[in-house]
Copies of this chain bind each other. A is one copy, B any other.
Amino acid sequence: MSEFEESGIGEECGVFGCVAAGEWPTQLEVAKVLTLGLVALQHRGQESAGIVTSNGVNPPTYNTLKGMGLVNNAFPPENLLKLRYGNLGIGHTRYSTTGISELQNCQPFVVDTLHGKIAVAHNGELVNAAALRKKVMRHGVGLSTSSDSELITQLLALTPPMEELDAPDWVARIKNLMHETPTSYSLLVMYTDVIYAIRDPYGNRPLSIGRLVPISKLHTAGAGEGETEGWVVSSESCSFQSIGAKYYREVMPGEIVQISKHGVKSLSIVPRPEGDLPAFCIFEYVYFARPDSIFEGQMVYTVRQRCGRQLAVEAPTEADVVSTVPESATPAALGYAQQSGLPYVEVLCKNRYVGRTFIQPNTRLRQLGVAKKFGALTDNFTGKRVVLVDDSIVRGNTISPIIKLLKEAGATEVHIRVASPPIRFPCYMGINIPTKEELIANRPEFEDIAGYIGATSVRYLSVEGLLSAVQGGIPSLQGKDDRINTNASRRVGHCTACLTGKYPVELEW
């Protein structure tokens, strides 16, 4: 919903990789698959985009394409031509958390090493990045960007020293890296003819694998292995449909998966410290992911709907209609309506052309605020008591003018129901959250939040309610899976640090 958008809360990135199966060169046109895959991950980052392809021979030719802005603008057609001959490749779409928006921070990051070029695309944020930077620099390496991706490439190149090896054991190096930094990263590392897909031991960021099959077999049960046209790996499974891939499986927390033209192979699972649970970011469910993505065996849309239902149980309301702040809160609002039995209506319509405008607002225009963005569908709520469901209230300054708009247009009551608990703590694992002081839940106004934002009443979903909505639907792991260690029953856990202050690992400063 809009509160996140307005507050500048955002995901750091999306990563996407593709390997053509079978004999090379293929007809797959990997660069096109990568581009479309990134378009489907665009909601995870709109600042810049990049792709790197390899022709897969030894020594390989890498081609890189990077640009600022949306994927469709960042890659002009004449430049895409350069990447024509790629047989595998990785891509990245970036959301800037640090505010330095420059082409040189654009990923994937490619470096030349003693044993050839590696390319890295990263989603997440290393919790101990500062210590690692110091370590690398103490070794005498200069770092040319502030991005974790460059740090990761240099760490991969650095330890153990290159000269000890005849050929690089990248998997050993990746394991070393994973021991040096516990979280948070979903990582794609491309080297010559193979992509390593890695999730940190806590599984903080998502990563899923898909299989490209003939379009005609896309929706049938049995496209045999022989019909595989290629493999893709993506931050979210929502990108599979748009490029004609079948969902295959998730990369497990701590797992290193090798993807090559010969198929998908699980190489290792780096374990968490004894007793630690996985810590998949719960806000991927609440807000970040596209609703048609699948995490842990469940569709994001359905989880959001369950949140809405749980909210209706926890915070019932005497009202006439239930509605949503479009568009992301809609599943929760429909869930609330179903559970409560109140009718669902639309009260706001969105102007999809409102974007960055060059106009310097004068006083008058500044007062109008949200009015440019939403139109009031007055017939649906005049004279009525409205339950308005939203994902979250971050700073409280977006929902406030919406309430004003509804009340002035004739709503008799506006009850705000928030389908997640209050955000109170910073995230150090890749989500850009306002400072503690800016979060409404940490401010004195929160005592009378309803009064502050002008609502008739305000209620939040509880942490327990959110966890039960998320964890209630996770299916148990099937034994037939091809991951290395399948005898362990799936243990469930999620990162709720921004809600509870309990971080998955101890933070050092």
A residues within 8 Å of B by Cβ? 27-29, 32, 35-36, 39-40, 42-43, 46, 70-72, 75-77, 80, 103-104, 109-114, 118, 133-134, 137-144, 146, 150, 153-154, 156-159, 161-163, 215, 218-219, 229, 238, 241-244, 290-292, 299, 301-302, 330-331, 334, 338, 343-346, 349, 351-362, 364-365, 367-368, 371-372, 375-380, 408-409
Instruction: Tell me the complex Cα distance, A346–B327, Å.
Output: 12
B137 touches A113 (CB 8 A): yes
CA distance A472 to B42 in the complex (A): 44
**Which one of B80, B141, B349, B353 contacts A292 once the chains associate, using CB atoms below 8 Å?**
B349
For A380, give the chain B residue with the smallest CB separation: B301
Asked whether A367 lies within 8 Å of B244 as measured between CB atoms, the reply is yes
> A317: shortest Cβ distance to chain B, in Å?
20
Hey, which chain B residues are within 8 Å of A109, CB to CB?
A: 144
Known: A218-B408, A292-B349. A143 touches B111 (CB 8 A): yes
- Given A141-B158, A215-B364, A301 contacting B355 (CB threshold 8 A): no
Q: A215: which B residues are within 8 A, CB to CB? A: 364, 367-368
Flag if A238 contacts B375 (CB, 8 Å): yes
Decide: B112 and A134 in contact? CB cutoff 8 A: no
A139-B140, A139-B162, A141-B141 given; 8 more Cβ-contact pairs under 8 Å: A29-B365, A32-B359, A72-B355, A72-B358, A80-B358, A144-B144, A215-B364, A244-B371
> Does A301 lie within 8 Å of B379, measured CB to CB?
yes
Residue of A141, A229, A244 with most partner-chain B CB within 10 A: A141
Tallying the copies of this chain within the complex gives 4
A sample of 23 inter-chain contacts (CB < 8 A) reads: A27-B362, A35-B357, A39-B353, A40-B372, A46-B353, A71-B353, A72-B355, A103-B103, A109-B144, A139-B162, A140-B162, A141-B154, A142-B156, A215-B367, A215-B368, A238-B375, A242-B375, A244-B371, A292-B349, A292-B377, A301-B349, A331-B346, A338-B343
Most B CB within 10 A of own CB, among A27, A28, A39, A46: A39
Q: With A72-B358, A358-B77, A368-B243 in contact, is A292–B39 under 8 Å at CB?
A: no
A138 in contact with B111 (CB, 8 Å): no
Q: How far is the CB of A397 from chain B (nearest CB, A)?
A: 17
Contacts of A301 in B (CB 8 A): 346, 349, 377, 379-380
Is there contact, CB below 8 Å, between B368 and A244? yes
A133 (CB) vs chain B CBs: closest residue: B112
Measured in the bound complex, the distance between the Cα atoms of B244 and A340 in whole Å is 36
Shortest CB distance A187–B (Å)? 15
Specify which chain B residues have a CB less than 8 angstroms from the CB of A355 in the assembled complex: 70, 72
* Cβ-defined contact, A142 with B163, below 8 A: no
A112-B144, A346-B330, A353-B43 known; A36 and B372 CB under 8 Å? yes
> Once the chains bind, are A114 and B143 in contact (CB under 8 Å)?
no
Residues of B within 8 A of A360 (CB): 77
Among A39, A354, A379, residue most surrounded by chain B Cβ atoms (within 10 Å): A379
Which residue of the partner chain, among B142, B146, B291, contacts A157 with CB atoms under 8 Å? Answer: B142
Q: Cβ of A244 and Cβ of B104 under 8 Å apart?
A: no
Return chain B residues, CB-CB under 8 Å to A346.
301, 330-331, 334
Pairs A-B, 9 closest by C-beta atoms: A111-B142, A219-B408, A292-B375, A42-B353, A140-B158, A77-B358, A142-B157, A114-B137, A215-B367
